[in-house]
Amino acid sequence: MRLTIEQRRLILETVNRVAGEGVDVYLFGSRLDDGAKGGDVDLFLEAERPVSFLQRAQLKWRLEAMLGLPVDLVCKTGGNDASPFQAIAKSRAVKLGNC
């Protein structure tokens, strides 16, 4: 995993501040490959309550500013069925933590 402990902590704290409690945070994509270089930070958020468009925009903006890296967010609300893309993203993800 090509995220430091500090970067993971910042991600979890920021998600908690912006989206509130009850959000599972997962990392997927190229940042899981220790042999790769570059790449954005792909995060899959699974929330008990919907994460609004404004909250997603704030999360993206804050995380990109703090990490100095591009961030992509995929959000799913717990009670809803996953889209095919959401299902693939989660199946290839590693859980960073719960907010």
Positive or negative, the CA dihedral 28, 92, 47, 1 is negative
The rounded average pLDDT for each run of 10 residues, N- to C-terminus, in the chain (99 residues) is 91 95 93 84 93 95 96 90 91 91
Task: Domain ranges for the chain, please list them.
Answer: 5-32+39-98
d(CA 27, CA 89): 9
Strands 94-98 and 41-47: unpaired
Tell me what pLDDT residue 37 has. 84
Tell me what pLDDT residue 16 has. 95
Which backbone phi and psi does 95 adopt, to 5 degrees?
Answer: -70, 125
d(CA 76, CA 7): 22
Q: What is the pTM of this model?
A: 0.91
Question: Class of 5-32+39-98 per CATH?
Answer: alpha beta
Tell me what pLDDT residue 15 has. 96
Tell me what pLDDT residue 64 has. 97
| Contacts of residue 31, Cβ cutoff 8 Å, sequence gap at least 6 | 1, 2, 3, 39, 40, 41, 42
Tell me what pLDDT residue 81 has. 87
Q: Which of 20, 33, 28 is nearest to 96 (CA)?
A: 28
Tell me what pLDDT residue 38 has. 79
